[in-house]
Amino acid sequence: MSLQACADLVARGDPDRFRATMAAPLAARRVLFPLYAFNIEVSRAPWVTGEPIIAEMRLQFWRDVIEELAAGRPPRAHEVIAPLAQAIPQSVIGGLDRLVAARQWDIYSEAFADRAAFDTYIADTAAPLVTVAARALGADAREDAALADAGWGFGLANFLVAIPALAAAGRVPLVDGRPQAVADLAAEGLARLARARAKASGLPRLARAALFVGFRAEAILRAAQADPGRVGAGTLPGAGLRDSLRLAAMAATGRW
């Protein structure tokens, strides 16, 4: 039950978040590694079984964990739960319940009911990781709107990359898969990132590490906007030299 166990889990299960966390100051890593390890455990829960009831039970386990930690109860003995309890203040950890609840969509094969349902899924599966991390690293509630916009943009970029795998698994990932609709969606993600960037200048330097995880988001969204066919084809850009340089610049300046 250590920070190293969480770091190892993130390194294996989420290489981009591992790279982003290693670019952050050491004090931020103590928050980010447990948080991202928790996200891996939650995001995997719907996919490790073909039985919906069992998947629901796995997600309920994590909802119970968050409820217990938010109530100040001692953490369960678990390689992720104990470090998470140490890393995230009781006052903000309840915000992670949204993330767990949203993953119920992953269990079933129904399409999103409408664009509002899609937007909520993107927001709830991504924004809490940014807002809770930043709050744990010194941000206050006045920054929540900017952090939520950033999280939505990051989440959309990751979701677009995942669309071929989701489709192969029998899911219907987009409400409107027409090229222009996909380009418009990517444009909205870029607009939200720009809005977040304009408002994030007041974040404490340590809290800005919560935004490092989006180091690839803009490049992905720009590619999807320019050529929406790359989304379904699975040819959106992978990590490259430009991303590495961007991440290095974030680490050096603290600016996102």
Q: How far apart are the first and last CA of the chain?
A: 31
Q: Which of 124-133, 142-151, 165-174, 247-256 has the lowest mean pLDDT?
A: 247-256
- Rounded CA-CA distance 11/159 in Å is 20
Residue 211: CB atoms within 10 A of its CB come to 28
12-35 residue pLDDT tens: 999 999 999 999 999 999 999 999
pLDDT band at 2 (very low <50, low <70, confident <90, very high): confident
88-134 residue pLDDT tens: 999 999 999 999 999 999 999 999 999 999 999 999 999 999 999 99
Q: Are 189 and 217 in contact (CB under 8 A)?
A: yes
Mean residue pLDDT of the chain comes to 95
* Class of residue 240 by CB neighbours under 10 A (exposed 0-12, middle 13-18, buried 19+): exposed
Q: Which two tokens stand for residue 211?
A: 């935004």
Q: What is the largest CA-CA distance in the chain?
A: 50
Q: What pLDDT does 1 receive? A: 53
Residue 255 scores a pLDDT above 90? no
Residue type for position 207 = A
Choice between 253 and 165, residue whose per-residue pLDDT is larger: 165
- Rounded CA-CA distance 154/194 in Å is 12
Q: Which two tokens stand for residue 126?
A: 């991504």
Q: What pLDDT does 254 receive? A: 81
- Rounded CA-CA distance 231/223 in Å is 9
199-247 residue pLDDT tens: 887 899 999 999 999 999 999 999 999 999 999 999 999 888 888 899 9
Residue 83 scores a pLDDT above 60? yes
Domain that holds residue 207: 3-253
The alpha carbon of residue 104 and the mean position of all alpha carbons in its chain are separated, in whole angstroms, by: 16
pTM of the model: 0.95
- Rounded CA-CA distance 68/71 in Å is 5
Q: What pLDDT does 256 receive? A: 80
Residue type for position 201 = S
Residue type for position 200 = A
54-78 residue pLDDT tens: 999 999 999 999 999 999 999 998 9
Tokens 């369960």 map to which residue? 76
Q: What pLDDT does 98 receive? A: 97
Specify the number of domains making up the chain: 1
- Taking CA atoms, 53 is separated from 72, 107, 134, in Å, by 29, 9, 34
Q: What percent of the chain has pLDDT over 90?
A: 89
> Where residue 32 sits, what CATH number does that domain have?
1.10.600.10
Choice between 253 and 189, residue whose per-residue pLDDT is larger: 189
Q: Are 43 and 59 in contact (CB under 8 A)?
A: no
Q: Are 58 and 106 in contact (CB under 8 A)?
A: no
Q: Which two tokens stand for residue 8?
A: 């190892």
Q: What pLDDT does 60 receive? A: 98
Q: What pLDDT does 56 receive? A: 97
Write 164-172 long-range contacts (CB < 8 A, 24+): 164/232, 164/233, 164/234, 167/232, 169/47, 170/109, 171/106, 171/109, 172/109, 172/110, 172/111, 172/112
- Taking CA atoms, 193 is separated from 5, 158, 189, in Å, by 32, 14, 6
Residue 195 scores a pLDDT above 90? yes
